[in-house]
Amino acid sequence: RASLDLQECASRYPAYIGYLDRKFGNRTIDPGGETQRDRHTDGEFRIRQLPNGSVVFEVVRRNPMMHGQKMEYLVTYMNSVLRRHGDVLRPFLDKLGGRVKLCWRGADNPFSKTRTGLPLHGWSSDPIHTDISIPDFTFQEYEEVRSVRVNRSWRSNSWRAVSERLLAVKQDRRGFVWRGRPDFPAQRRALVERIKKVPARLAPLLAQVAPEGINVKTSLVDRMNIYEQCRWTFTFYVPGFHYSASLKYKLACGQTVLFVKDTPKSEEFFYDALKEDENVFFIRSDLSNLWEVMEKALRRQADQGPAVGAAARRVAETYLSQHGIDCYLLLYLSHYYLPLVDRTWEAWERRSGSRRPGV
């Protein structure tokens, strides 16, 4: 019996199925080969079945845009998943000669922008939904969290360790908090400037629900660790260039998140689980509805307490749990990617009249 029940996975995490169905709904098979051979600037990985039956994730070609530590953490994380559930993939790998390659976009490499052939993988997927988002390296270790500065015994900055610690943080600061680097997207600077002048009509509501006001800054000096930020009721999320990093911590904190949308909108693998007015509030990329959304969030807090924050935490506890992420990766590989590779080889065999290598 397989170690992971994929039917149960699909039932428990429908947002993952919705995301993956959109990615694969209209892909065109390219019978020219098993991978996108023209993408020489991208990294290349391999999933391989060893003689003893275990399944491993290996580097084939390093991506120059993805420094060694990020790649190391990616490989470590993927292998931890395959150690738990690699048996799920064996029947699929047997049909593919025991191995299969995956192309990987580095931190700032361009999106593939094609629905032909096998997809490219990255920390986020492209706006027209052709690339596939895979959990980023911060799930394994994210040194920017700097947990040891808060508690010397907190040596790990893995998502699992940090999210468990955040559960114990008391949310006792009634206000808005956000920190971000000033050299990142212009949306961040625009948010900071806009938030300095709250409309007078919102002042009474802000004083009632968030009397500690708005603590929002872009600075490399006035930093605030994620554990301290977690104490605040409300927060903003402004996308970076390629992966969210901080968003999952805000969800785990049970904060009410005001999410400034990206333009163009790239997505990560769990974004379909984020529901407007249920577990997050969305702000347009041009900030044109900032005050409307802020008022809505404040009134919801006044009327229902931390209901939205509690729903945000449930996303972290379900979709971003170890079981949830294991399900996502194994559903993707077994139900989408490996069958597509198999169909690609079948098309190649029909066209060439030859047998696929290694089978």
Who has greater pLDDT, 53 or 180? 53
Q: What is the pLDDT of residue 241?
A: 66
CA 115 remoteness from chain centre: 21
First to last CA, the chain: 25
Q: Is the pLDDT assigned to residue 358 strictly greater than 70?
A: no
Question: Among 142-156, 278-292, 337-351, which is the least confidently predicted range?
Answer: 337-351
User: Token pair of 302, please?
Assistant: 């006044």
List all residues 6 or more positions away from 313 whose beta carbon is below 8 Å from its beta carbon: 251, 252, 253, 254
Q: Rounded distance, CA 86 to CA 3, Å?
A: 8
Model's pTM, two decimal places? 0.93
| C-beta separation of 203 from 263 below 8 A | no
For 303-328, how does the pLDDT look when each residue is reduced to its tens digit (9 = 90+)? 999 999 999 999 999 999 999 999 99
| C-beta separation of 59 from 68 below 8 A | no
For 163-186, how does the pLDDT look when each residue is reduced to its tens digit (9 = 90+)? 999 999 999 999 999 987 766 667
Q: Rounded distance, CA 215 to CA 110, Å?
A: 35
Q: Is the pLDDT assigned to residue 237 strictly greater than 90?
A: yes
Q: Rounded distance, CA 246 to CA 163, Å?
A: 11
Burial class (CB in 10 A: 0-12, 13-18, 19+), 288: exposed
With cut-offs at 50, 70 and 90, classify the pLDDT of residue 29. Answer: confident
Domains along the chain with CATH numbers:
14-136+322-352 (no CATH), 164-267+271-318 (3.40.50.2000)
What is the dihedral sign for C-alpha 174, 254, 138, 17?
negative
Would you mind telling me the total number of residues written for the chain in this entry? Answer: 359
pLDDT > 90 in the chain, percent: 64
User: Token pair of 319, please?
Assistant: 């979709």
For 74-125, how does the pLDDT look when each residue is reduced to its tens digit (9 = 90+)? 999 999 999 999 999 999 999 999 999 998 876 556 666 677 788 888 888 8
Q: What is the pLDDT of residue 218?
A: 74
| C-beta separation of 347 from 31 below 8 A | yes
| Residue 337: C-alpha distances to residues 95, 170, 173, 207 (Å) | 13, 42, 45, 52
The runs of H, that is alpha helices, within the chain are 6-12, 14-24, 68-85, 90-94, 159-166, 186-195, 203-209, 226-229, 247-253, 290-304, 307-318, 322-332, 338-352
Q: What is the pLDDT of residue 225?
A: 93
With cut-offs at 50, 70 and 90, classify the pLDDT of residue 35. Answer: very low
Who has greater pLDDT, 104 or 161? 161
Burial class (CB in 10 A: 0-12, 13-18, 19+), 45: buried
